Chains A and B, each alone.
Chain A
Amino acid sequence: MFTTGSKLFLGATALALVATLVFGASHGGEPGYLGTITLIGALLALAALTAINFFTRDGNTPSMEQDITRTAAAAARAPRRSVAPVLAAVGVALLAIGAETRPAFFKGGVLVLLVAAAEWLVTAWGERASGDATYNAAVSSRMLQPFQFPLVAAAGLGLVIYSFSRVMLWINKSGAPVIFGVLGALVLVGGYLLASRPDVKTSMITGIAAIATLGLVSAGAVMAIDGQRTIEKHPTPASDPAVCTESTKDAHVDKRAPGSVASISSPTAIVVVKDGKLAVYSQGLRGARADVTIIRGATNNLLFRNDDHVARRFTLNLGTFTDSSSGTPVTKKPQACTTLIEPGGEVWKTFRLTQPSAASATPYTITVPGISDQVLTMVVP
């Protein structure tokens, strides 16, 4: 009574019905409504397809037309081997893993399933495009290969790059440049050798490349599972008063932390301490000054240079403000400072001031702990 195709669609419709009932019963709220409506839509669409297919009896031709059993598309050769089922299985596996572990796997699974579905659909269509198997193979390739080749190449390249990155992140910091250099040299020498021997067999090159890729991917997998090396995270220069007012207390900070690309070539001003004297040098203004104008609202970069004979830190005293928002007035004296800078060293400080000098009860200043008589003024209009 039921044809083969109808059974498939009937099964899919039943599955959609079950999914709709289960989802609708287990999910409430707006996402629940949306999901249920979507599943009802899928259910109706599948039911309609089932009905059409049942009505047309899978599109089977009447038995009187004998010729059609040889020439019809359905009479073409049995399907060729296809990678789509394997791909779909991988997608389902990723979905299952992703549901329990990381969302990235789940999203990857959805992507793989979509690719598998597209591949499967076009292959299935191509295998039955006509009664001529040669034509079917050609049309199938013409449809699929423009997508297959770039996708496979991108996936392969991505796998190699990812594996390589895992290897480099697993190796210790000092060994990584050596390994990178050696691998680069090997690729160069290998390329030179192959180029100088044009008669070498293609199969041999393919074999070497396959072994190298396999080795890299295997190493990448092992090292990804083992995890990357420990990368130290250095805090940025402190804003802790206990540190900013101390002349010797050092916090373990990354001296280049604010060394962004932006701050490398464009200081608002250079602040120097030398022989116990503090001075600021601004672009276009000749000589050392005791004040610097800082633009309100803009990102400012100051370069601090220690030309003194002992380690120094620079402290920005960012005014005095009274906060009455909680009902009780609270006086705040924000500060920011650099790390201790060795003699001859430099440190960047990037900051943004939103309040003008007039809003503060005390001026904005730059000081160096340990040198009490030296103060630079920051004027914020």
Chain B
Amino acid sequence: MTRNIPSPEVAPVHDSPRRVTRRRVGLAATATGLLVALAGCARNAPQDTFQPAGENARSIDNLQRPVFYIAGVIGILVFAAVGYIVWRFKDRGQELPIQGHGKPILEIGPIVLSAALLLGIGVPTVATVFKLAKTSDTQCVVIVTGQQWWWEYTYPVQPGCAAGGIKQPIVTSGQLVVPAKTHVLAEIQSNDVIHSYWIPKLNGKRDAVPGRTHTLRLEADQPGIYSGQCTEFCGLSHARMRMQVAALDQAHFDTWVTNQTAPYQKPTDPAAITGEATFQANCSRCHQVDGMADSAGKPIISQPELYVVSGSAPNLSHLMSRNTFAGAVWDLLTPACRDKVWHAKPEEFSELYLQGVSRECLNEKDLRDWIRDAPAKKPMYSSDAQIASNNGLSRGMPNLKLKDDQISQIIDYLVTRK
């Protein structure tokens, strides 16, 4: 008699939900880690400190790379050693080993090695710090002033910088224009709160502290645009406080200086003439346009100290010689024109940059939106209620409640400010 012995049921192999979740989390973590690591390989990153484009940034790079490699190797060794010890001497119920006092050679050895390593890193670090603090070889001085939320550049009267020197101060904002292959000394200040100036491809960061003057060396190897942003939290629109350095070859820089110091050119186009009057009525109480005079011929002097906490507003004398506005956040150029300039070859960049912004290349939409309602575009402490609660002072540009035709007139005028 045979017995039917039921064959044991073989359950299908399924992972438990916990195991599946763990595997998914692991995969996601690995993918995220890889993504972050691979992001470091980007070649077109405009603010990559590992792609120095000047002598000072290269000094930092030459220092940080070996330190990074040494620290990386040591880090891996330490983690490997800790991992091995954790795995090898895991509590498996074994007896405790003999508790000795230790081995002096194992204690002193790593201390001596660490001290030697720190000394090896410390000496070149101190040497680099001194090198970056040097000011005696300066060829061009620019005073950089931070305020919420834009940077102002003042070129003081000086014998160097341009051929024949700078005989009258130049004030601009957003984009710092410098001659390439020149030792530029930025004297950094602040008008309100602490900011920090950083153009990663040209040098490290330097804080802008009210009441102090900090120096920062800048030098670009070749003409081009070098981007940066404020790196000290400074209020609502800290993330929208950017800047660029536009390095020009010396000849074009000289031309730029000549343009910036040229006498005021009254507009000749009827629309721009109307725009000048509208500008005078609405904008000139804060924004200075050098040489602009009222109907009686009296120079119009802006008084931003009566309206803005920082006591300063961008000088618009040559607005259209720059490529960006409102804290270098928005382009004055259309995307196509911008690409043509910003991605030009170094030998062509200076010429293209000097062309400034033409009517055809003007990014009118963003400029129009900005003039219509600046706080809607860039968060600022400048609503009517906030201004009223702050002794009538605004942080940033308030909404002037201009009509569309007034905005058009102002744009018609600003386009002539090259």
Q: How distant is the Cα of A295 from the Cα of B169 in the complex, in angstroms?
A: 10
Within 8 Å by CB of A260, from B143, B169, B211, B304, lies B211
The answer to the question of A339 belonging to the interface, with a C-beta cut-off of 8 Å to chain B, is: no
Q: Are A282 and B156 in contact (CB under 8 A)?
A: yes
Nearest A residue to B210 via CB reads A299
Q: Please determine whether B154 and A295 come into contact, CB atoms closer than 8 angstroms.
A: yes
Give min CB distance, B326 to chain A, whole Å. 19
Tell yes or no: B157 within 8 A of A by CB. Answer: yes
- CA A296 to CA B189, docked complex, whole Å: 12
Of residues 277 through 294 on chain A, the ones whose CB sits less than 8 Å from some CB of chain B are 282-286, 291-293
Asked whether, in the complex, the Cβ of B185 is within 8 Å of the Cβ of A293, the reply is no
Chain A's closest residue to B214 (CB) is A266
Is B211 within 8 A of A285, CB to CB?
no
User: What 0/1 readout, one digit per residue, does chain B (193-221) give for beta carbons within 8 Å of chain A?
Assistant: 00000000000000001111111000000
A64 at the interface (CB under 8 A from B): no
**Given A268-B213, A283-B141, A358-B301, A293 contacting B169 (CB threshold 8 A):** yes
Q: How many A-B residue pairs have CB under 8 A?
A: 85
B262 to chain A, nearest CB (A): 15
A293, B311: Cβ atoms under 8 Å?
no
Verify B212–A379 contact, CB threshold 8 A: no
Say whether A262 contacts B154, CB under 8 Å: no
Tell me the residues in window 247-302 of chain A with beta carbons closer than 8 Å to chain B beta carbons: 260, 262-263, 265-268, 282-286, 291-293, 295-299, 301
Q: List which B269-310 residues lie within 8 A (CB) of chain A.
A: 288, 290, 299, 301, 303-305, 310
How far is A283 from B213 in the complex, measured between Cα atoms in Å? 10
Candidates A283, A301, A355; contact of B135 at CB < 8 Å: A283
Alpha-carbon separation in the docked complex, A285 to B190 (Å): 21
Contact between chains at B157 and A291 (CB < 8 Å): yes
Q: How many residues of B contact A (CB 8 A)?
A: 37
**Is the beta-carbon distance between B169 and A284 smaller than 8 angstroms?**
no
- Closest chain-B Cβ to A334's Cβ sits at a distance in Å of 15
Query: What A residues does B159 contact at CB under 8 A?
Result: 285-286
Q: Chain A residues near B215 (CB, 8 Å)? A: 283-284
Distance in angstroms from B82 CB to nearest chain A CB is 37
Q: Are B212 and A265 in contact (CB under 8 A)?
A: yes
Whether the Cβ atoms of B211 and A282 lie closer than 8 Å is no
Whether the Cβ atoms of B141 and A282 lie closer than 8 Å is yes
CB–CB A359/B138 < 8 A: no
Given A260-B211, A301-B211, A354-B311, are A295 and B157 also a contact pair (CB < 8 Å)? no
> Bound complex: CA of A284 vs CA of B211, how far in Å?
19
With beta carbons under 8 angstroms apart, the residue of B157, B187, B311 that contacts A297 is B311
In the complex, the answer to whether B213 meets A381 with C-beta atoms within 8 Å is no
Of the residues B157, B191, B213, B304, contact of A301 by C-beta under 8 Å: B213
- A285 CB contacts on chain B under 8 angstroms: 138, 141, 156, 158-160
* A356 contacts B by Cβ under 8 Å: yes
A284 touching B135 in the complex, CB below 8 Å, given contacts A295-B145, A297-B304, A355-B301: yes
- Residues of B within 8 Å of A356, CB to CB, are 288, 301
Interface size of A by CB at 8 A reads: 29
Give the one of B138, B189, B210 with max A CB within 10 A: B189
A298: which B residues are within 8 A, CB to CB? 145, 189-191
A374 at the interface (CB under 8 A from B): no
Question: Does B241 sit within 8 A of A, measured CB to CB?
Answer: no
Task: Assess whether B185 is in contact with A283, with CB atoms less than 8 Å apart.
Answer: yes
Chain B 127-161 near chain A by CB (<8 Å), digits 1 or 0: 00000000100100101010000000010111110
Q: Knowing A293-B156, A295-B154, A359-B301 are in contact, say whether A267-B213 is a contact too (CB < 8 A).
A: yes
Q: Please give the distance in Å from A361's CB to the nearest CB on chain B.
A: 12
Q: Which residues of A have CB within 8 Å of B304?
A: 297
Q: Are A284 and B212 in contact (CB under 8 A)?
A: no
Q: A1 to B387: give the CA distance in the assembly, Å.
A: 64
A350 at the interface (CB under 8 A from B): yes
Q: Is B257 on the interface with A (CB-CB < 8 A)?
A: no
Pick the contact of B143: A263, A286, A295, A355 (CB < 8 A).
A295
Q: Within the assembled complex, what's the spacing in Å between the Cα atoms of A292 and B157?
A: 7
Contact of B321 with A by CB under 8 A: no
Contact A295 B189, beta carbon cutoff 8 Å: yes
B312 at the interface (CB under 8 A from A): yes
Find chain A residues with CB under 8 A from B157 CB. Answer: 291, 293, 379
Complex Cα distance, B209 from A265, in Å, reads: 12
Q: Give residues in B with beta carbon < 8 Å to A.
A: 135, 138, 141, 143, 145, 154, 156-160, 168-171, 185, 187, 189-191, 209-215, 288, 290, 299, 301, 303-305, 310-312
Q: Can you add 20 more A-B contacts, CB < 8 Å, to A263-B211, A285-B159, A293-B143?
A: A262-B209, A262-B210, A266-B211, A266-B214, A282-B141, A282-B156, A283-B215, A284-B185, A285-B138, A285-B160, A286-B159, A292-B156, A295-B145, A295-B154, A301-B213, A354-B305, A356-B288, A359-B299, A359-B301, A379-B157
Which residues of A are at the interface with B, using a C-beta cutoff of 8 A?
260, 262-263, 265-268, 282-286, 291-293, 295-299, 301, 350, 354-356, 358-359, 379, 381
A-B contact pairs, 11 of them (CB 8 A): A266-B213, A283-B141, A286-B138, A293-B154, A293-B157, A295-B143, A297-B305, A297-B312, A299-B210, A355-B301, A381-B170
